[in-house]
Structure 1
Amino acid sequence: MTDENQPQMTRIQQKNRELILEGALGAFSANGFRGATIDQIAEAAGLSKPNVLYYFGSKDEIHKTLLTTLLDLWLAPMLGIDPEGEPLDEVLRYVSTKLQMSRDYPRESRLFAYEVLQGAPHLSEILGGRLRELVDQTVAILARWIDEGRLAPVDPRHLIFSIWALTQHYADFEVQVRAVLGPGHDPYAEAEIYLENLFRRMLEVEAGR
């Protein structure tokens, strides 16, 4: 909800904020929080350093704003799991969406990886609050499907961890993946087939059980 007492930003101000956050995404995902500088962000945004600091008081503020803004994007696929849907289809759709996000948003994935590797100083409250609540809700859905015999019995939380690890790897270690596969390979297209087969075999309920 917008604060009525808070002045509305002009189009130019909104555009400049977007330019700064876009520039910061490149700087932070490439260099991490410690390695990125205001000068790098300003150059990437096409703005002066004083202009950047007009909109954001510090590098820390830019980083926290960026992470918070991107978190909605990152959590959206889990929110899209339909409790009334076909269980295996819903899980496989989630896997596919997470892989597509790794393909389409590799910088965002690496940004979160950097943050977590540093102990998540800017995300600790969200990870232990909002994210945990969403994971708990998803675990409850998965556990119900397992109890109903509609998914093979697995630990729901570790299933979620596995999906994260096996999809985001292709963004976080894309250089390594492409180097190992060599030319002529599409990592994401090949991963789509492999991961669907892997999770289908893991979760599909055997006939007659």
Structure 2
Amino acid sequence: MPDAAPKKPSRIQKRNRHLILDAALDVFSAHGYRGATLDQIAEAAGLSKPNILYYFGGKEDIHVTLLNQLMETWLDPLIEMNGEGDPMTELLGYVQRKLDMSRELPRESRLFAGEILQGAPRMNPHLVADLKPLFDEKCAVIQGWMDAGKLASIDPRHLLFSIWSTTQHYADFEAQIVVLLSGEAPYDTASDMLDRMFRNLLRPEPA
């Protein structure tokens, strides 16, 4: 007799998993992995701790689930960089997509930063298997643009690091930015400044 098909989760089960993951994202992004507890996640989700453990094996299981979901989203802006497009347009578009991600997904950005600051104990396999090949591929594309004289000649690796640091800063250091800008919304002015900064950096010198 063939094995029965796995039972699909009910609407309530899907809702509860979503509640748990959303609450855990709040807790992990605020307290980091080490500072977060299942009790905090349960309280934020409005569920009991035994209910949390019905859906997940523990704090690490929840954290890994969030990281796995995040990695799929995290790579998308770099994947979208088109090697057949105009180099300046493609790179400045990438800067804007990364800035938009900080605006729209600040908790996810802080979750990622917290994991990296701990040495990436749970995300390292993704960095090796997913990010590194994509990073190498796009660096080769950028280097090709530079070799063709379409962009100023700089190290593509450090260019990408600079894009990451300047865009993700607005999510990871949001509390400081709010104080320093006296509550002013930063993203419109940040977009203009980053566009000008990277455009000037990347503009090739006249022949």
Report the TM range for the smaller structure's normalisation: over 0.9
Q: CA deviation at 1:143?
A: 1.1
Amino acid at match of 1:179: V
Secondary structure in 2 aligned to 1:161? helix
- Structure 2 residue aligned with 1:173: 173
**Runs of 4+, deviation exceeding 4 Å:** none
- Structure 2 residue aligned with 1:149: 149
Unaligned runs of 5+ in 2: none
- Structure 1 residue aligned with 2:33: 33
Amino acid at match of 2:171: A
Distance change (3 Å), C-alpha of 1:6 and 1:160: farther
Amino acid at match of 1:162: S
- Structure 2 residue aligned with 1:60: 60
Residues 11-69 of structure 1 show CA distances to partners (whole Å, capped at 9, x for unaligned) of 22222111111010000000111111111111212222111101101100000010110
| RMSD (Å) for aligned C-alpha atoms | 1.4
**Following the alignment from structure 2 to structure 1, what is the Cα–Cα distance between the partners of residues 139 and 69?**
25
**C-alpha contact (below 8 Å) 2:71/2:126 kept by paired residues:** no
- Structure 2 residue aligned with 1:80: 80
1:47-196 alignment to 2 at 5 Å?
47-183=47-183, 185-196=184-195
Q: CA deviation at 1:161?
A: 0.4
- Structure 2 residue aligned with 1:200: 199
**Following the alignment from structure 2 to structure 1, what is the Cα–Cα distance between the partners of residues 7 and 155?**
49
**Following the alignment from structure 2 to structure 1, what is the Cα–Cα distance between the partners of residues 5 and 160?**
42
**Following the alignment from structure 1 to structure 2, what is the Cα–Cα distance between the partners of residues 8 and 79?**
32
Q: CA deviation at 1:178?
A: 2.1
How many residues align? The count is 204
Q: CA deviation at 1:9?
A: 2.0
Q: CA deviation at 1:181?
A: 2.2
Residues 128-184 of structure 1 show CA distances to partners (whole Å, capped at 9, x for unaligned) of 22111111111111111111111111111111000000000111111112212224x
Aligned identity (percent) is 53
Q: CA deviation at 1:73?
A: 1.1
Amino acid at match of 2:127: L
1:1-12 alignment to 2 at 5 Å?
6-12=6-12
**Following the alignment from structure 1 to structure 2, what is the Cα–Cα distance between the partners of residues 16 and 157?**
41
**Following the alignment from structure 1 to structure 2, what is the Cα–Cα distance between the partners of residues 85 and 186?**
32
Residues 53-112 of structure 1 show CA distances to partners (whole Å, capped at 9, x for unaligned) of 011011000000101101111111011111111110010010011111111111111111
**Following the alignment from structure 1 to structure 2, what is the Cα–Cα distance between the partners of residues 5 and 12?**
20
Unaligned runs of 5+ in 1: none
Amino acid at match of 2:124: S
Normalising by structure 2, we get a TM-score of 0.94
Distance change (3 Å), C-alpha of 1:46 and 1:177: same
Q: Say which is worse superposed, 60-69 or 198-207, in terms of deviation.
A: 198-207
